[in-house]
């Protein structure tokens, strides 16, 4: 009994636990493990950074503790709003100093796409875990550099795939993997909206690395992969551009693309910056179907199958995402659908192939 008491004291449990049955004591220990908090700095205090920060207010496992921005006025506003101390605030020139800050565990990189690779690698070299917004990089080559850098540094590289944790999405995936739709042979993904300000970075090739495909089309690429549960073996694609002034060279307005899978399943997808009301996934099999509309918007997601609607409480996606990512980093949790750098890399391989298919008009085989 003495050894058990010493063990419990070292585990940090209260004296009350000494009188509990062993099963309750172990449950208390598990609960204590779940109380570990991932301390996060956000890099890039724009609109999506704001959304993530607001979501973390309600997070149980992740807390906003640091800021990285090139705009001092934003840093000052955020410091006041979220109670961030001066010592946890950095700019893009000096943020390498986070290596000396034990109060920050991870950095969420929410910058224009072209900055994902260099900034993520700097974060990794500073010894902090990297959470990077999608797309992870501009292309496969950059993505491989990021994966290698994080492995060398011994830190996690996670990608902001919030839909991988959304409840209704997870239920559709569960049903597909359980065979409830039979053999799934067709996926349709429609991803698009009419983009606004023509001067924004998403329409700047140097910053975005492309156009609608790099922003919204990647949802259909990723969705096809996790909805069908396979990796594509070929792609074809076609581009349409109705406004070459707004969508300059290298910035795609609309791309339709198709993917083929080892089972014989095919995916037919659309990515566009020219049409609204395009946020739909449709999965069809030999025994049933699933449909989601909206499928990737901020919510609530609506989903139904041939058996009826899928019901689940709507929780802010980024809140769930940050809690789950904290569990991955702190507890070693393995998610049903990966969100690591290797997952992000698979999407980049397909993006590269789609752009090659558009350029050449050929069916591109994937390794």
Using DSSP bridges, classify how beta strands 303-305 and 289-292 pair: parallel, antiparallel or unpaired: antiparallel
What pLDDT is stored for residue 299 in this prediction? Answer: 87
Residues 6+ positions from 127 with CB-CB distance below 8 Å: 99, 153, 154, 155
**Mean pLDDT across 191-202:** 97
Express each pLDDT in 231-282 by its tens digit. Answer: 999 999 999 999 999 999 999 999 999 999 999 999 999 999 999 999 999 9
Q: What is the percent of the chain where pLDDT is above 90? A: 90
Residue showing tokens 């509309």? 293
**Band (2; pLDDT cuts 50, 70, 90):** very low
Residue showing tokens 């001066």? 86
Distance between CA 137 and CA 231 in Å, rounded?
19
- Is the four-CA dihedral 300, 301, 307, 312 of positive or negative sign? negative
Distance between CA 203 and CA 207 in Å, rounded?
8
pTM, whole model, 2 decimals? 0.91
How much is the CA Rg of the chain, to the nearest whole Å?
Answer: 22
**Mean pLDDT across 313-327:** 98
Q: Catalytic residues, which ones?
A: 134, 219
Express each pLDDT in 137-195 by its tens digit. Answer: 999 999 999 999 999 999 999 999 999 999 999 999 999 999 999 999 999 999 999 99
Write the DSSP string, 343-357: HHHHHHHHHHHHHHH
Is pLDDT at 55 greater than 70 in this prediction?
yes
Express each pLDDT in 84-110 by its tens digit. Answer: 999 999 999 999 999 999 999 999 999
Domains of the chain are 38-159 (3.40.50.720), 163-315+334-365 (3.30.360.10)
Q: Looking at the chain, how many residues does it have?
A: 367
DSSP E strands in 6-132: the ranges are: 38-43, 62-68, 89-90, 106-109, 129-132
What pLDDT is stored for residue 38 in this prediction? Answer: 98
**Mean pLDDT across 102-120:** 98
- Name the DSSP class of 83: T
What pLDDT is stored for residue 108 in this prediction? Answer: 99
Residue 265: other Cβ atoms inside 10 A: 22
**Contacts by 14-18, CB closer than 8 A, 24 or more apart:** none
Distance between CA 69 and CA 92 in Å, rounded?
6
Distance from the Cα of residue 154 to its chain's centroid:
20
CB 223 within 8 A of CB 169: no
Distance between CA 53 and CA 42 in Å, rounded?
8
Is pLDDT at 32 greater than 80 in this prediction?
no
State the average pLDDT for the chain: 93
């Amino acid at each position: 009994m003495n050894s058990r008491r010493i063990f419990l004291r070292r585990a940090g449990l209260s004296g009350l636990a000494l009188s509990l049955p062993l099963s309750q004591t172990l449950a208390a220990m598990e609960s204590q493990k779940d109380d570990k908090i991932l301390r996060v700095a956000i890099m890039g205090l724009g609109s999506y950074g704001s959304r993530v920060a607001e979501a973390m207010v309600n997070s149980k496992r992740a807390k906003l503790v640091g800021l990285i921005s090139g705009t001092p006025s934003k840093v000052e506003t955020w410091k006041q709003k979220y109670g961030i101390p001066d010592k946890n605030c950095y700019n893009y020139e000096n943020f390498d100093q986070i290596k000396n800050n034990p109060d920050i565990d991870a950095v969420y990189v929410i910058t224009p796409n072209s900055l994902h690779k260099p900034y993520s690698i700097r974060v990794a070299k500073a010894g902090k875990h990297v959470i990077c917004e999608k797309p992870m990089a501009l292309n496969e080559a950059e993505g491989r550099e990021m994966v290698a850098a994080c492995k060398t540094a011994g830190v996690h590289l996670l990608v902001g795939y919030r839909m991988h944790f959304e409840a209704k999405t997870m239920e559709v995936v569960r049903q597909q993997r359980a065979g409830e739709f039979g053999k799934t042979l067709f996926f349709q993904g429609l991803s698009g909206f009419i983009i606004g300000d023509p001067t924004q970075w998403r329409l700047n090739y140097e910053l975005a690395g492309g156009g609608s495909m790099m922003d919204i089309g990647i949802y259909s690429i990723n969705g096809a992969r996790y909805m069908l549960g396979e990796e594509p073996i070929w792609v074809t694609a076609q581009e349409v551009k109705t406004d070459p002034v707004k969508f300059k060279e290298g910035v795609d307005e609309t791309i339709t693309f198709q993917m083929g899978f080892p089972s014989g399943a095919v995916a037919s997808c659309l990515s566009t910056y020219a049409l609204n009301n395009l946020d739909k996934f449709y999965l069809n099999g030999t025994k049933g179907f699933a449909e989601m509309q909206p499928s990737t918007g901020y919510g609530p997601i609506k989903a139904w199958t041939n058996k009826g609607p899928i019901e689940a409480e709507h929780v802010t996606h980024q809140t769930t995402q940050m809690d789950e990512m904290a569990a991955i980093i702190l507890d070693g949790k393995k998610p049903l659908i990966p969100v690591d750098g290797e997952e992000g890399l698979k999407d980049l391989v397909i993006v590269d192939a789609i752009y090659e298919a558009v350029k050449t008009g050929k069916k591109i085989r994937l390794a």
